[in-house]
Amino acid sequence: MKTAIAIMSDPKAGDEALGRLFNGLATAYESKNSGDDVTVAFLGAGSRWPEIVSKKDHPAHGLFEAVQSSIAGVSCGCADVFGASDGVKACGVDLLTDNPIPGTSGVVSLRKYVNEGYTVLSF
């Protein structure tokens, strides 16, 4: 099974957003531990999450660390728009630019995952 997880929830949106992050990472964890091909990308306002969840005192930090090898990265153009670029770089997560949208530094391509046979889940 091939699953691409797109995390787009805004950490500034409170408990509901935290729940979406947690469930996205939990799905990645379950998939990874089942031997599936799984990848996680952060898009839109979700580009803010890596800096936040990489802090050891965050409630989802352990889960984030457990799926670290499955994290493809953060949409670069989204990180630019949402002011997350420096934080993403600081925590060592890759910036993804495989979809060269005009007027941006490039964004992640979800179409690429669909073409490669992944089921895309969004949180």
For the stretch 30-81, pLDDT in tens is 999 999 999 999 999 999 999 999 999 999 999 999 999 999 999 999 999 9
Summarize pLDDT for 83-101 with one digit per residue, the tens.
Answer: 999 999 999 999 999 999 9
The 10 Å Cβ neighbour count of residue 90 is 11
Residue 17 is inside which H or E element, if any?
helix 15-33
CA–CA gap between residue 72 and residue 94 (Å, rounded): 7
CA–CA gap between residue 2 and residue 115 (Å, rounded): 11
The two three-digit tokens of residue 29, written as one number = 């964890």
Length of the chain: 123
Q: What is the pLDDT of residue 96?
A: 98
CA–CA gap between residue 105 and residue 34 (Å, rounded): 35
> HSE (CB half, 13 Å, CA atoms) of 75?
24
Q: What is the pLDDT of residue 78?
A: 97
Confidence tier at 103 by pLDDT (50, 70, 90): very high
Do 56 and 63 contact (CB within 8 A), yes or no? no
Q: What is the pLDDT of residue 76?
A: 98
The listed CATH number (1.20.950, 3.40.1260, 3.80.10, 2.30.240) that belongs to domain 2-122? 3.40.1260
Q: What is the pLDDT of residue 85?
A: 96
